[in-house]
Amino acid sequence: MLDLERLRALHSVATYGSVSAAADVLHVTTSAVSQQLAKLERETGQKLLERNGRGVRLTDAAELLVTHAEHILSLVERAQADLEAHRGTVVGRLTLGAFPTAVRGLIPGALGRLHREHPDLSVQLQELDPYQSMPLVVRGDLDMAIVQDWDNEPLPNPEGLQRGAICDDVADVALPPGHPLAGRAEIGLKELAGDPWISSSPGSVCCAWLINTLRGFEAEPRIAHMAYEIPTQLALVAAGLGSAILPRLGRCDVPPGVTILPLRPAMTRRVYAVWREETARRPAVRAALAALRTGLPPL
């Protein structure tokens, strides 16, 4: 009989490319993973890993076993979800990823409600950009991710994931002190296309959206500085170093001298949750989605 945890260790090595990376994901030592794989080799009578330079590679037998392990682990996850659904109570552990403004403006209230209403549910949160969190949900390292995309630049929805809408979040523009258009009641983003910009970190959803949107106005973006956190971006705007897009979700205090103007036409991003189809019946997933939709801040 194949041991499930040993299959999980092999699958993690195949997914993440090394024993040490698998150990990090599984929250165990590299020695523990190596021991699991050695036991699996004895169990199967097959060599599963071979040296490849400083790393390892999977043998043909291991590749075959990994294919079966994917199906087995998926079935186990589905069985666990069905059992929780049959029990009808919100229990167990839920791993959650969310982007920074959602962590600040949406998650604390939702997790507080879950803690009060479902004390037998343990939730573990990680702050991650959607480009990071969605692959982790696909691979099973996260149960759910709170992600965002924009009306003019939707995120692809990977096969095997379901999604549930949470809210629409309107974005304004933050102008630095003394900006010549700061006296306007509203402004078009096209009018600011040639400005220097304070953007989110490179490789993030918001950075990619800003660059592609400005290029749509036939202007090559002038990204002056990059910072992931909105308070840091606003501090740079207040120093006169550029303008920034400011979503209303999770908005912090605006520094003196910074002007916030609504955009026309409005720029809106969608905030939604994603989870694997295998876990859709888990009461914990449904409870988390309900908590995220309840008591939303005014946007």
pLDDT at 19: 83
Instruction: Single out the residue of 56, 269, 44 nearest to residue 169, CA to CA.
Output: 269
pTM here is 0.75
Domain-wise residue ranges, the chain: 4-85, 90-299
Write out the two tokens for 83.
Answer: 């059992």
pLDDT at 1: 67
Residue whose entry in the numeric block shows the structure tokens 């694997």? 276
User: Considering only the top CATH level, what class is 4-85?
Assistant: mainly alpha
**CA dihedral of residues 75, 79, 85, 87 (deg, nearest 10):** -170
CATH number of 90-299: 3.40.190.290
Instruction: Single out the residue of 125, 130, 128, 92 nearest to residue 107, CA to CA.
Output: 125
pLDDT at 156: 86
pLDDT at 84: 67
pLDDT at 278: 85
**From CA 104, how far away is CA 155, in angstroms rounded?**
22
pLDDT along the chain (299 residues), means of 10: 78 80 78 84 82 76 80 72 69 93 93 94 94 88 94 85 94 96 94 94 90 89 93 96 93 93 94 92 92 82
- 222 has which bridge partners? 196
Q: Count Cβ atoms below 10 Å from residue 251 Cβ, excluding itself.
A: 19
pLDDT at 195: 94
